[in-house]
A and B are shown apart, each in its own frame.
Chain A
Amino acid sequence: DQQVKQNSPSLSVQEGRISILNCDYTNSMFDYFLWYKKYPAEGPTFLISISSIKDKNEDGRFTVFLNKSAKHLSLHIVPSQPGDSAVYFCAASYLTGTASKLTFGTGTRLQVTL
């Protein structure tokens, strides 16, 4: 049962335009959401996150929006740059008794073209 879904396996955007990556989740217990970026042959690196008590978080060119009622979040990249070409993973977490575990989506491959 996929609790975190990224329905678009790939996305192609022109340089300078907005990239919008989407993520849906089913588990109401999730209270923190993160986006990771992954280049080939490297591990994922943390990009930006949002708590469930907020609906928006910005960090430079990156903005994450959360719609709790729809169980949907999105990552906006403006303006998109060629260096943004990577696989983006959405992840969700909640704190259990032992550790905060992440549940990842299947990833969206973003290609930013010149």
Chain B
Amino acid sequence: DVKVTQSSRYLVKRTGEKVFLECVQDMDHENMFWYRQDPGLGLRLIYFSYDVKMKEKGDIPEGYSVSREKKERFSLILESASTNQTSMYLCASSLQGQVDSNQPQHFGDGTRLSIL
């Protein structure tokens, strides 16, 4: 079974802090993704990575950056946390190529981040 592990389930930080969210997958997947989930807005893609040290912006990258130094690990960084970044953050991974029934995206359980 694919395992995507997010380092924290709950996190509370202060405005202006630099925040790191960590994600590790154990299936040697090439692709990794960061989403945020907000009520009424569904899941929105922040950034994704298709290879080590490679990254692309998703739909809402402003205020975020990412790091992928190793294939299994993908970090999301909030450079200077703001209250509007309070959200549920979800990490996912998948094999290279077309997402389909044989290789869907697999998700971690999420990190609920509160910025005070």
By a beta-carbon cutoff of 8 Å, the part of chain A in contact with chain B is 4, 6, 9, 31-32, 34, 36, 41-46, 48-49, 51, 89, 91, 93, 95, 98-107
Q: Are B50 and A99 in contact (CB under 8 A)?
A: yes
Would you give 23 A-B contacts (Cβ < 8 Å), ordered by A? Answer: A6-B42, A9-B40, A31-B98, A34-B101, A34-B104, A41-B109, A42-B110, A43-B107, A45-B107, A46-B106, A49-B101, A89-B42, A95-B97, A98-B54, A99-B94, A100-B31, A100-B99, A102-B33, A102-B105, A104-B44, A106-B41, A106-B42, A107-B42
Bound CA span A45–B43, Å: 13
A100 — which chain B residues lie within 8 A by C-beta? 31, 94, 97-99
Within 8 A of A (CB), among B41-66: 41-45, 48, 50, 54, 56, 58
Q: Are B40 and A106 in contact (CB under 8 A)?
A: yes
B58 — which chain A residues lie within 8 A by C-beta? 101
* Nearest-CB residue, chain B, relative to A3: B59
* Nearest-CB residue, chain B, relative to A98: B50
Q: Most chain-A CB neighbours within 10 Å: which of B40, B104, B110?
A: B104
A-B pair count, CB < 8 Å, reads 77
By a beta-carbon cutoff of 8 Å, the part of chain B in contact with chain A is 4, 9, 30-31, 33, 35, 40-45, 48, 50, 54, 56, 58, 90, 92, 94, 96-101, 104-110
B42 — which chain A residues lie within 8 A by C-beta? 4, 6, 89, 104-107
Q: Are A49 and B100 in contact (CB under 8 A)?
A: yes
Q: Are A43 and B110 in contact (CB under 8 A)?
A: yes
Contacting residue for B43 out of A44, A48, A51, A99, CB 8 A: A44
Given A104-B42, A105-B42, also A51-B107 (CB < 8 A): no
Given A46-B106, A99-B31, A101-B48, also A32-B100 (CB < 8 A): yes
Q: Are B43 and A93 in contact (CB under 8 A)?
A: no
Bound CA span A98–B96, Å: 8
Give me 17 other A-B pairs in contact (C-beta within 8 A), A36-B107, A43-B92, A100-B31 excluded: A6-B42, A41-B109, A43-B90, A43-B107, A44-B90, A46-B104, A46-B106, A91-B43, A93-B98, A98-B54, A98-B56, A99-B94, A99-B96, A101-B58, A102-B45, A104-B35, A107-B42
